[in-house]
Amino acid sequence: MEGGGLEHMVISVAACAVAVLVGLSAFAVSGRSEHASPMFLLATPPGGTYFDFVVSILMENHGICDILTYCGGSAPFETQLANASGLATNYSPSPCGKSLLDYLCLTGASTFGCTENPNPNSDACTRLAWQSPNIVDRLVDAGLTWKAYMENMTSDCGSPAGTGYVIRHNPFAYYGDIVANATRCARVVPAGIDDSALLDDLGSASSASNYMWLTPNVCNDMDICPVAAGDAYLSTLVPKILGSTVFTTERAALFITFDEAANGRGTPAIYTVCSGPAAKLGYTSSVSYNHFSHLSTVEANWNLPPLNANDSGARNMSEFFVGSPPDFSLSASPWSLSFIAGGSAMSNVSLQPQHGFQGAVTLDATSNPAGVTAVCSPSVISGGETSACSMTSSAAGSFDVSISGTAGATVNHVTIHVQVIGVLSAGFTPPSRSFADEPVNFVGSASGGLSPYDYSWQLGDQSTMTGDRVSHVYSSEGVYRVNLTIHDASGQIATASKDLTVARSTPGVLTEAATGVEDVRATLHGDLRNLGEATTVIVGFRYGLDPTLSGATNWTMGPANAAGAYASLVTDLNPNTTYYFDAWATGHGFTTGGIMSFTTIALPKPTGTPGATVGVEGTLGTNGWYISDVTVALTASDSLPFVAWIHYVVDDGGWLNYTAPLTLHDGKHSLAYYAFDASSSPPGRNQYLNVSVDTAPPVLSLEDPSRMTTSSFPVTWTGSDAGSGIAGYEIQVDGGPFQTVGFATNVTLALADGVHTFAVRATDVAGNKETQTRSVSIDTNPFSPFGPLAGLPLFLLVLALAIAITVLLLRRRRKGKRTPTEP
């Protein structure tokens, strides 16, 4: 494409974008503002099915059991009001949410997509609400009156947030056909001192509106003040409402609920009551309701069209209101019970006759799910009588017991929530390995019972701790009796006890008496009692002529991965000499088992018997091991004129005549030999030689590293040695000195950016070594080719280049427009 064509394309795209923005702006300006049509009121508003006047009060941020005193709450007035009114025990805000969202659901049957608390008509969700129908539209269209009262609001309709008033609690300020309509806007008013505006309007049926809404300030509604403050507020206001002219002479209802439970007690259920002359007395229902149900109830009462599928599909709360025919209601006190499995609890079910009801009511009980047995005595009540209903169960769980009352064809119910608490048991598992002077961790567990649980530990060394997870350091090894006691919220107590063995972190070893002591050899014995904190230890002996073992010979047996006895034959001793020795072990620290001694047997006087000497050739490594094949040469001697020969045996083979030097390969070998001749002289005494050979280096496998984008780099390897056994590992970084890491097979290195070389070296007991070397590239730059933002610099470069080309083309076009036309 030529430059001019590209230039035209850029300008065309810009023009299209401007056109789209202009079109969207025009669409946003149109819409709901046209709906602000005149309001016409019928001379006589239609009567309601259940009530002619309703007052709704919305409180804030508490669960049902933050309020009701018999399930953990602290609001005595609201508890008393619930007992005397209609209480919905399973009313929740779902699926609305919090604050503004709940207020919109109660008046507009939708959250309109809001997730937070924006100001009116300020973003996509509030603009949608601004243009949408609401409950006021339905009331006005039906010829009904309405009014909303806002505590601490300073002007009609709405005002900026101030002391005690927040606009998110005034849903009527979020609808355009209210705010933009002066007549409707005048119906959203300040509540006045002590809600005087509302109470004055309730002074007569002519001044009261059919639909009245009260938003308390943020202290009275418990938003920022404690439950006690809101309960005191309602204890003053509600009696005035119920004692007003409208509530004493008309069919009026008072509806009190909360916006949300805010993770309070009883979440997600919120305190919701229906009170007043139109409501049933002492009525309780566990039917599931939500904020759409309140709106659906208002619509059902006045036969109003629903706003959308939310209120259309919501179950209304008509069960809380009395009708004209004689009727009765049942109430339960308390309506929520709890007891321990195998026990029982009692709830009193009372009968409240309404509209001249007379007659006997037969009580029956059903558990859902099955598991609770309920027996009411008496089973038939009348007038204002009460029946004591006993609940028993041996199965833990949550149950709803429905007490049904039947009088002829009339059946009413009250639901009692029963929580059967399992029998509490306590338990804990002590660590499989515990060591003195190191933290020992305990994790307690409770089953059954009722949370929260209190954990108390007695750790066996007069120490006590609390909490489900504790850590303790024992100062010495031993066996400790650990006791755990758990208290739960239901008053149950359970205990668990276990013995904990605390060992030393260093290995435990004991030196035992030498056996098979002869003139030049003896067998040393040790007992590895435990490995301490290590999983593998090296064991051996020290022996010498000094009682303190100064300058002693060290003899390494090899690795051990389990406790047990071990022994070693030592040779080349001096006859008739006292030797001192001890057993040792090294793992997580070095330990000796105590010094013992033995005395070799004295040599008999020479008798002219034949003799033999031995010569050993090979490369000697460490700890008495040879790291090359070993050649053993035997030499016989005798007094003239006799010639001596040698018999020998290697390991578990048979005796052989010596003819040539022996070659010993990898392994631990024991050689016995003696000289003899053809005379009648006795043969030479048996002599012994132990030779240990390990010519093979350890097997080492070092994992190949990948490119790293963090400075913390794990190095992992495996190693083994079939000969003398692994003596330890070392690691080297970037040509530095090798650092000992013991028997560990992984380390984590902290490396700077760049390419690093690291090496792992394994050494066996004989001194053979094997080294593996690897390289790794460390690059913590997120913009590097391998970083998480690898493509961002290139993207920014391309973007900058595109912008530059566009600007250049636009400038060329403007320059062309300014050039005068040639003649």
Between CA 396 and CA 419 the distance in angstroms is: 8
The pLDDT, as a whole number, for residue 410 is 85
Tokens of 608: 């002219």
Asked if 129 and 174 touch (Cβ cutoff 8 Å), the reply is yes
Domain edge (last residue) among 297, 322, 347: 322
Residue 329 belongs to some domain of the structure: no
The pLDDT, as a whole number, for residue 678 is 61
Between CA 764 and CA 558 the distance in angstroms is: 9
168 and 214 share a domain? yes
Between CA 646 and CA 652 the distance in angstroms is: 18
Residue 174 belongs to some domain of the structure: yes
The model's pLDDT over 20-45, given as tens digits with 9 standing for 90+, comes to 333 333 333 333 333 333 343 444 67
Residue 1 belongs to some domain of the structure: no
Q: What is the CATH number of the domain that holds 586?
A: 2.60.40.10
Taking phi over 0 as left and psi of -120 to 50 as alpha, with beta for the rest, 651 belongs to left
654 and 718 share a domain? no
481 and 560 share a domain? no
171 and 258 share a domain? yes
Within its chain, how far is the Cα of 614 from the centroid?
71
Residue 439 belongs to some domain of the structure: yes
Between CA 683 and CA 675 the distance in angstroms is: 6
493 and 513 share a domain? no
Between CA 701 and CA 772 the distance in angstroms is: 8
The greatest distance separating any two alpha carbons of the chain, rounded to the nearest whole angstrom, comes to: 155
Judge if the upstream peptide bond of residue 705 is cis by omega within 30 degrees of 0: no
Tokens of 201: 């309007």
The model's pLDDT over 300-323, given as tens digits with 9 standing for 90+, comes to 999 999 999 999 989 999 999 986
389 and 445 share a domain? no
Between CA 739 and CA 789 the distance in angstroms is: 36
Asked if 468 and 443 touch (Cβ cutoff 8 Å), the reply is yes
Tokens of 782: 């997120």
The pLDDT, as a whole number, for residue 218 is 94
80 and 189 share a domain? yes
Asked if 743 and 534 touch (Cβ cutoff 8 Å), the reply is yes
pTM for this entry: 0.46
Q: What share of the chain is helix, strand, coil (3-state, %, to 5)?
A: 20, 40, 40
Residues in CB range of 432: below 8 A, 6 or more apart: none
Q: What order do you get walking across the sheet with 712-720 strand by strand?
A: 699-702, 712-720, 746-750
The pLDDT, as a whole number, for residue 273 is 97
119 and 165 share a domain? yes
Residues in CB range of 736: below 8 A, 6 or more apart: none
Q: Indicate the residue type of 149.
A: Y
Between CA 392 and CA 377 the distance in angstroms is: 14
Between CA 672 and CA 661 the distance in angstroms is: 14
83: helix, strand or coil: helix
300 and 190 share a domain? yes
The pLDDT, as a whole number, for residue 355 is 64
Strands 726-733 and 754-764: antiparallel
Tokens of 110: 């939708």
129 and 221 share a domain? yes
Residue 316 belongs to some domain of the structure: yes
Asked if 377 and 404 touch (Cβ cutoff 8 Å), the reply is no
Residue 716: give the domain boundaries: 699-778
Residue 268 belongs to some domain of the structure: yes
Between CA 427 and CA 431 the distance in angstroms is: 13
> How many domains in the chain?
6
586 and 732 share a domain? no
What averages of pLDDT result for each successive group of 10 residues across the chain (823 residues)? 39 36 35 38 70 96 93 94 93 87 94 92 94 96 95 82 87 94 94 94 96 96 95 97 95 95 91 95 89 95 94 91 74 87 92 79 94 94 91 92 90 88 91 83 92 94 93 89 94 93 84 91 91 86 93 87 91 91 88 91 66 87 91 79 75 87 91 75 78 93 80 89 91 92 88 90 93 89 64 75 86 68 45
499 and 512 share a domain? no
Tokens of 439: 């933290």
